[in-house]
Chains A and B, each alone.
Chain A
Amino acid sequence: MIAYIIRRVLYAIPILIGVNLVTFLLFFVVNTPDDMARMQLGVRRVTPEAVEKWKAERGYDKPMLYNGRAEGLARVADTIFYEKSVRLFAFDFGNADDGRSIRHEISTRMWPSLALQLPVFLVGIAVYVTFALLMAFFRATYIDFWGVVLCVAMMSISSLFYIIGGQYLLSKLWNLVPISGYAGGLEALKFLALPVVVGVVSGVGSSSRWYRTLFLEEMGKDYVRTARAKGLAETAVMFRHVLKNGMIPILTGAVAVIPLLFMGALIAESFFGIPGLGSYTIDAIQSQDFSVVRSMVFLGSVLYIAGLLLTDISYTMVDPRVRFE
């Protein structure tokens, strides 16, 4: 088991190096620091001196890959590639364009993100599984049919409309919760209620429908027929056999998402004014702060790979039939 985990972790390293190279190519080779400077300072009427100054302030005035003027190790180390890309492996993200430390921002902003995403995740799974099980239990009846119709209709609504609709109904018409904003401590509950509800509701369509398919697939299997042949009640079949086996792909699929919960929800956070990583990323994209975007790309990939790792491990733990190769 431990050897298996170690091997999986080692697999992740070349992928992270690949991600790092891709971001380096995108942010420094396709788009040179000169371009970035001109974009920040305004495309027209910008003097070469201003560009040089901007680059020097942010450490973009070094050579790309190899510094011929330096001595020893500094030949490789005193370059943009080392300073800006390799350092990401140590989670040293540098400073944003406004001079603030990105690492500090991430460590403070990931908690509001998690406070929003974790309830969405947990409540979501409970709601989706219940709904899916209901449809599977009443399969081939009107409940099932209209349930699927509801799912397809809900899948066809853009997530933006759920947010706008939720804000309008709950905050503006019924005055139940504030439209947007955030506060620490218990006060946060008031602000998080609406985003959590919206987050859960917007996922009902696709997730419930997918889980329903999983449950139905499970119900077509031989062991279910055996259980019925033994004379078990339909509820016992559903809850003791189908639910347990159907939860394997659902839970292992859900485990993959857990690390990404830290990244927050891009759109929801900026709509609801929650100071999490999602809104941080959107702000960075809109103000064209490349160093923040680059850091978030790297962080997102690390968390995604961690999720893959957790999935593999949870598979082996939940399902004894899966063996370590």
Chain B
Amino acid sequence: MMFVPLTTDILVWLLVAAIAAYFIYVRRQPHLLVPWRRVTQSAYGMSALVVLVVFVTIGLLDSIHYRPALERKAGQGAAYSTEVLSVFDVIASPLRDRRERTYSAPFATRAYTRETLEIQGPDGRVRQVREFPKLRWGGAHLEDETGRGRDILVRAMLGLALGSLVWFVLAGASAWRQAHLSKRRLGGAWRAIWRGETQTPWRAVLITAGVLLALAGPALALCAHYHVLGTDKVGRDVFYLALKSIRTGLIIGTLTTLVLLPLAVALGIMAGYFRGWIDDVIQYLYTTVSSIPGVLLIAAAVLLMQVQLDRHPELFPTSAQRADLRLLFLCLILGLTSWTGLARLLRGESLKLRELEYIQAAQAFGVRDTRIIARHILPNVMHIVLISLVMDFSGLVLAEAVLSYVGVGVDPSMISFGTMINAARLEMSREPIVWWALAAAFAFMFVLVLAANLFADAVRDAFDPRVRVGTLAAA
């Protein structure tokens, strides 16, 4: 086994480390802890967080890549497969390995199209018949296909039972914690949770977790024996594809912000703080960049990158590394085209801040500009940065789908919501229609983006000073 840390993997884990460091820092800063407390007190924010945690866990498991070792031949060194796998692939290997020949509907035991089969009749003659062939894997354990409904029901119930078990453990743990914190008996704590009287909205968290487990339990119990969401044109399990798409969406949403953040923060604050010719130059820069239509600039840059990638095939030992570089480049381009909005906001805020007395006092004391920016301006615009980062995330996930449709998104070999939708588009015109791939992409993407939007709202409500004044006045 050889670990292949893809470039995006490294950046993702660095990002995870940075976020962890931020929260350790926040724990020690009471003034930063207060708004985050408010986020954890928002019922919809916490529900969204539960969903996001599940998605992020899948995405992170999918971000540890390696190349499996091939069997060693005598007299040769270790050889490695050209296929790059992730830890998630190993966990989901029952899904990944069970490929059919082509389309099959969810829970089907037979293929979606008729094929010509050769059947040996009772008299020993070989006849050709047009029939729906049996699937290689879907429902292959069934001896009698008529027992399919019962089998599905039994397995789903088993999964549901397993899911409920996990849920009861979670509910017990939260009740125990609540009892511990409020120094009450377990029963009383549980009643408080159930009536929604707790500070942290445990009820919302448990309901969300319950819904997720009720869906995931049966899905997990069934997916080893059936294709729960059907298969696509080349016979890949759609459930697996949808789960793999999560990583691509998350990476586009997070790494892009990593690119735009330093640009927007540095240029925005500099323009607002220094004013004069620096302000003019930076304003000119962001007006120019934002006046070029975003999709076209991205398309142009991606086309150019494709030329460069075609010219240097030797740089990439595996196709996964090539696709990964393309993904990274896409994040870079998206970042370079989308920093202007945040920069404009930060410029306006810095313009306001620099006129405030405490900053003028710092200037009068002869504090250096870099220090004023780092100590006085930056901490006071951080809430804007944070809000705009979480708000941008969902937009970027949606943008990926559109860009992939235009043909300037991720590599066609990379599994993403965009490539799934793109492939499913043609299937809608088939008769009878192949709806499951599109439905799966829709459902997963909708849940991810909705959770991101709700969480962003919770963060904005907690950090935006204007909103806080409003709610206080209302209360």
Contact = CB atoms under 8 A, between A and B. Distances in A.
B15 interface: no
26 contacts: A19-B288, A26-B301, A27-B300, A31-B308, A43-B311, A152-B453, A152-B457, A155-B453, A156-B449, A156-B453, A158-B398, A158-B421, A158-B442, A158-B449, A172-B428, A263-B293, A285-B299, A285-B303, A286-B406, A293-B299, A297-B297, A300-B292, A300-B296, A301-B291, A301-B292, A301-B293
B106 interface: no
B402 to A, nearest CB: 6
A130 interface: no
Interface string B451-473: 00110010000000000001000
A305 interface: yes
Contact of B438 (A36, A164, A267, A293): A164
Which applies to chain B's interface (DSSP): helix, strand, loop or mixed? helix
Contacts of A168: 428
Given A157-B442, A167-B428, A293-B296, 8 more contacts: A153-B450, A155-B394, A158-B445, A160-B401, A285-B299, A285-B408, A297-B297, A301-B292
B307 A31 contact: yes
Contacts of A158: 398, 401-402, 417, 421, 442, 445, 449
B57 interface: no
B284 A267 contact: no
Which applies to chain A's interface (DSSP): helix, strand, loop or mixed? helix
Nearest to A305: B291
A125 interface: no
A111 interface: no
A161 B453 contact: no
B357 interface: no
B364 to A, nearest CB: 29
Contact of A18 (B288, B306, B408, B450): B288
A15 B450 contact: no
A299 to B, nearest CB: 9
A290 interface: yes
B454 A31 contact: no
Nearest to A294: B300
A156 B299 contact: no
B24 interface: no
B293 A15 contact: no
Interface of A: 14-15, 18-19, 22-23, 26-27, 30-31, 35-36, 38-39, 43, 140, 152-153, 155-161, 164, 167-168, 172, 220, 260, 263, 266-267, 281-282, 285-286, 288, 290, 293-294, 296-297, 300-301, 304-305, 308
B446 A157 contact: yes
A285 B438 contact: no
Contacts of A260: 293
A15 B280 CA distance: 12
B350 to A, nearest CB: 20
A300 B293 contact: yes
A285 B299 CA distance: 7
B291 to A, nearest CB: 5
Contact of A164 (B297, B406, B425, B457): B425
A317 B87 CA distance: 61
Contacts of A14: 284
A260 B303 CA distance: 24
A43 B310 contact: yes
B176 interface: no
B405 A160 contact: yes
A38 to B, nearest CB: 8
A285 B407 contact: yes
A267 B405 contact: yes
Contact of B450 (A22, A152, A220, A286): A152
Contacts of A294: 300
B311 A35 contact: yes
A266 B405 CA distance: 11
A53 to B, nearest CB: 19
A27 B292 CA distance: 14
A111 B465 CA distance: 46
A181 to B, nearest CB: 14
Contacts of A155: 394, 449, 453
B291 A304 contact: yes
Contacts of A305: 291
Nearest to A157: B446
Taking each of A18, A36, A220, which has the highest tally of chain B beta carbons within 10 Å of its own beta carbon?
A: A18
Contact of B421 (A23, A36, A160, A286): A160
A297 B300 contact: yes
